Amino acid sequence: MELKKLVGTAAAVLMMTASVGFAERLKMHSSWGQNLPILGSGPHEVSERLDAMSGGDLAVKVFEPGALVSGAAYYDAVSQGSIDMGFGTSGYHVGKNPAYAFFSSVPFGPRAGEYLAWMFHGGGMEIAQEMFARDNIHFLVCGIVPPETSGWFREEIKSTEDLRGLKMRFFGLGAKVMEKFGVSTQLLAGGDIYPALELGTIDATEFSMPAIDRNLGFFQIAKYNYFPGWHQQTTLTELIVNMDKWNSLSDAHRAMIEASCIAQTTISLAEGEAIQFDAMLENEANGVIIKRWSDDIIAEFEAAWLEVIEEEIAGNEDSKRIWASYSAFRDKYAVWKSNGYLD
């Protein structure tokens, strides 16, 4: 799939709407509540954009988490067609196939530009769409966000030994890294994390970027906030569409959805970079201590990640194929990265 081709369709979409002779009414599940910036507001922005582009002929109603299905559990509903669309992230589907994690975020992985380059021009999108199609789903990248924080803790973590025995909410492939250090991980939806922290069901958590984490109130309980987000240097959000529904749409409506997701990808990245520093300063004013992992601890995390990835590709043919594509692209990209950028 060529990014230029998708972007180029946007200019023609409004002209195409005149040829659409019927209205579509679609249901979209959102993994996140609308109160969360970028993640929760994103699907509503996509819906509003589609309504404007189609002149009302493509109406998408967004349902909050829990209204149709729980926040992260929308894969089956989209596959079966009880929901037309789901907005979330592919890492939520690892129970279906662990390889889906690679289309969400990769520990010690690329920044946004490199990640999108692999997805759109390095083979990532083709593999993703082939995998989702097995279960009657069409996959689209529909957003990308900058680095996350890598943990909120009640106490300072001075070495990886301090992690042993902690119960922690953790996402994706990074959770498997933390388990190497004796952390008991679980994946909780965003709205369930604060109560779990408050009740002591979990001792620590990671969830998202500072602005979103602040919105969820973690700073009120866990005062040590760790960086960098080695586990999620950038994260893709997805729009998955029931394949039968996707195939039934007009060319114009499909082009609008593709163009709207490309627009959302640009908007989410820019907004994500713009809103983090104010949240971090506000956290500090509320007594949060911002910490950066030492080089030694980062090296331990990376060594554990190398063990995890070997286990992943040994046990899953899709993971093996994705990792080969991803790694080959990154090896070639390094020539450009090391010469073209200051850092």
Instruction: Kindly report the CATH number assigned to the domain that includes residue 171.
Output: 3.40.190.170
pLDDT tens for 219-273 read 999 999 999 999 999 999 999 999 999 999 999 999 999 999 999 999 999 999 9
Average of per-residue pLDDT across 57-64: 97
Find how far residue 136's CA is from the centre of its chain.
21
Q: What is the pLDDT of residue 11?
A: 45
Q: What is the pLDDT of residue 274?
A: 98
Q: What is the DSSP string of 26-61?
A: EEEEESS-TTSTTTTTHHHHHHHHHHHHHTTSEEEE
Counted domains in the chain: 1
Is residue 119 pLDDT above 50, yes or no? yes
pLDDT tens for 320-338 read 999 999 999 999 999 999 9
For residue 284, the number of C-alpha atoms closer than 13 Å in the C-beta half-sphere is 9
Is residue 16 pLDDT above 80, yes or no? no
Q: Torsion angle, CA of 187/132/141/117, rounded to 10 degrees?
A: 110
Q: What is the pLDDT of residue 343?
A: 76
Residue 30: what are its φ and ψ, rounded to 5°?
-110, 135
pLDDT band at 1 (very low <50, low <70, confident <90, very high): low
At a CB cut-off of 8 Å and minimum separation 6, what does 48 contact? none
Range of the domain at 200: 1-343
Instruction: Give whole-number Cα distances, 90 to 156, 159, 300, 322, in Å.
Output: 32, 31, 27, 14
pLDDT tens for 79-112 read 999 999 999 999 999 999 999 999 999 999 999 9
For residues 264 and 30, the answer to whether their CB atoms sit within 8 Å is no
**Cis, bond preceding 228 (omega within 30 deg of 0):** yes
pLDDT tens for 126-166 read 999 999 999 999 999 999 999 999 999 999 999 999 999 99
Check: pTM over 0.75? Answer yes or no.
Answer: yes
The 10 Å CB-count burial string (b at 16+, else e) for 79-88 is beeebbbbbb
At a CB cut-off of 8 Å and minimum separation 6, what does 23 contact? 56, 57, 58, 59
Q: What is the pLDDT of residue 2?
A: 59
Q: What is the pLDDT of residue 127?
A: 98
Average pLDDT of the chain is 94
